[in-house]
Structure 1
């Protein structure tokens, strides 16, 4: 689902900032709200388990959870109410400090450490942060490094990452490609805990505005998507074309690095564990822990791209996606990592994404991306995150995007 259109946030960031991790008032307010929510969640788990034990529930079989009542129930309610009062009081005090004139109170400064923490937090509970209006929620922005040139390279990061995540082991695909190809690297920063389709709709809107105001005429646009970023890019192209956006007309090439086009086995396993825990009334309260997986993470189960893919429920086991083919007129490429040897590397893949999923292979013809062998490559012995720094991967990127 798209959001109301807003002007794209654009940041020029020529070099990483200091590694300090100052905590500002907005951060503190967000942390207080999360702490209160955590206390509520833990007490509900304890109360549900207490109720199952007190009610002598059978060890297996679904049963409606009945939290314990009486004096024990009063205590649990009092803990939640007390934490809410304390949290509201602290939030009000911090809000007052935040409203002071500039320079009158401490302010958070951007730093790689803080941004990495917030990006990881948003990947896990970013959807919750948005729903609750928590100031720790990351908003989409573009980071442009270098002068505006006719050729634009858009880099879309993966789950729990941000634009600085492209820098690994002293290498940055974006910076290296920009120097070799004479293009402007534009890094996207987004809340990876939101649904892929929601981030994609916003990316399409903001990219349309960005390129519409580009200082020089745009000759071409190429996109490199890492992991979830590849799904966001594919969805953005589909939604952008459906909406009649102008930016897809500039798109010439897309490269996917370790993108789970056909889903990720780890998330499917997590979903089955969630279902197994729910089979016992003694374990059912702990499904609340399993549900602390963001909308973005659950989209990785099958590689959801469109709103209709998840509106039937976050925990659906069956793959009911609407097939989305690769965009016509755009040359697409895919890289997969493979840690194992022989046939085992197909399922192990890069440790997170199988080779078949990364290369868009699916037993159902409607879901197979039909990438020709000349546009795919398997990086042997390369872990998922090392796709960001492997020399062989960079050589392929340079060859395909030249």
Structure 2
């Protein structure tokens, strides 16, 4: 490690890393199937480099680790830099939600990078394994684990918890809170529209429209999964010629779950806000089942917060959103004024 150049500072993820993440989001399953070197292997990243899950490497990245961990998982076509605040004038300790939680509440932040073009179920299983390896290699006993997912990242977290609970993985017992920022639990309408367009175009008996339909279908499995989230196939595969399987992935009943959503307009009840949501994901339906584990949605109304005038990407890097997360982490009830 001594022969390597010094790591990039936080927020300085290279343009090549961003390009690779975008390509993985678009055709990552193709890259993975062909063992192409551009495919991203899921790992924790620190300063634009994979963090080996070894005690010494973790201590080098986090010289003062705590027993409280915060794991952040990005969304489709992104990487860990999506969490970095865009304002360069912010204090050094407030570069991201993870860094701010470390400064304010003593959480040790770890950022996941992964191939977002793979099926959500596959990435969920990989995340479950990664978290198991983290807890085993971590230099201190883990007392608490909170998970924060943006967009697709929230669905990957949800599947990871489901997989870990099924296999009775020890790490899942440490999960106290899970935060979903703009995660399409009811499916993403843009992904659904592209799926419908592809089906229609390939059905038209014209070679040109069929070609266009085939191009539409050149979408990664991760993108295709978004149209039906959380109705994911247990095997992580949706053949185009088969109907989407109706298997709901349950919430982790031993943790508290919080949904953060945005709308482009000022009024979340306005028709435009209802139809457009944050630009990519709609405001979720309010849960109707009790939070005692007897239903599929153990989320109370005050665990869903909508931020007006907040687009999809901004949910991952907005000071007001962070303050709401911090409030929940600190055990405060309710929502912030203005949210």
Q: Normalized against structure 1, the TM-score is what?
A: 0.68
Q: Distance in 2 between matches of 1:351 and 1:272?
A: 19
User: How far does the alpha carbon of each residue in 1:357-397 deviate from its partner, in whole angstroms, 9 at most, with x for none?
Assistant: 6x6689xxx99625211111000110001112222211111
Q: Which runs of 5+ in 2 are unaligned?
A: 1-5, 47-60, 88-94, 331-339
1:141-290 → structure 2 map (5 Å cutoff): 141-143=43-45, 146=62, 147-170=64-87, 171-278=95-202, 279-282=204-207, 283-290=209-216
1:134 is aligned, of 36, 48, 60, to 36
**Aligned Cα root-mean-square deviation (Å):** 2.4
Corresponding residue number in structure 2 for 1:346:
274
The CA deviation at 1:232 is 0.2
Q: Distance in 2 between matches of 1:233 and 1:395?
A: 22
The CA deviation at 1:160 is 0.4
Contact kept? 2:274, 2:282, Cα under 8 Å: yes
User: How far does the alpha carbon of each residue in 1:174-215 deviate from its partner, in whole angstroms, 9 at most, with x for none?
Assistant: 111111110100101100000011011111112101111210
Corresponding residue number in structure 1 for 2:320:
392
- What's the secondary structure of 1:168's corresponding residue? coil
In 2 relative to 1, CA 305–136 (structure 1 residues): closer, same or farther, beyond 3 Å?
Answer: farther
The CA deviation at 1:153 is 0.2
1:15 is aligned, of 9, 18, 23, to 9
Corresponding residue number in structure 2 for 1:401:
329
Report the count of equivalent residues: 294
Q: Distance in 2 between matches of 1:249 and 1:300?
A: 27
Q: Distance in 2 between matches of 1:394 and 1:131?
A: 37
| Bigger CA radius of gyration | 1
Contact kept? 2:39, 2:115, Cα under 8 Å: yes
In 2 relative to 1, CA 289–312 (structure 1 residues): closer, same or farther, beyond 3 Å?
Answer: closer
Q: Which runs of 5+ in 1 are unaligned?
A: 1-11, 19-110
In 2 relative to 1, CA 153–315 (structure 1 residues): closer, same or farther, beyond 3 Å?
Answer: farther
The CA deviation at 1:329 is 1.6
The structure whose residues are more often helix, as a share, is 1
The CA deviation at 1:14 is 7.5
Q: Distance in 1 between matches of 2:237 and 2:130?
A: 24
In 2 relative to 1, CA 204–390 (structure 1 residues): closer, same or farther, beyond 3 Å?
Answer: same
Contact kept? 1:258, 1:335, Cα under 8 Å: yes
Contact kept? 2:22, 2:77, Cα under 8 Å: yes
Corresponding residue number in structure 2 for 1:44:
none
Corresponding residue number in structure 2 for 1:378:
306
Corresponding residue number in structure 1 for 2:334:
none
The CA deviation at 1:312 is 4.8
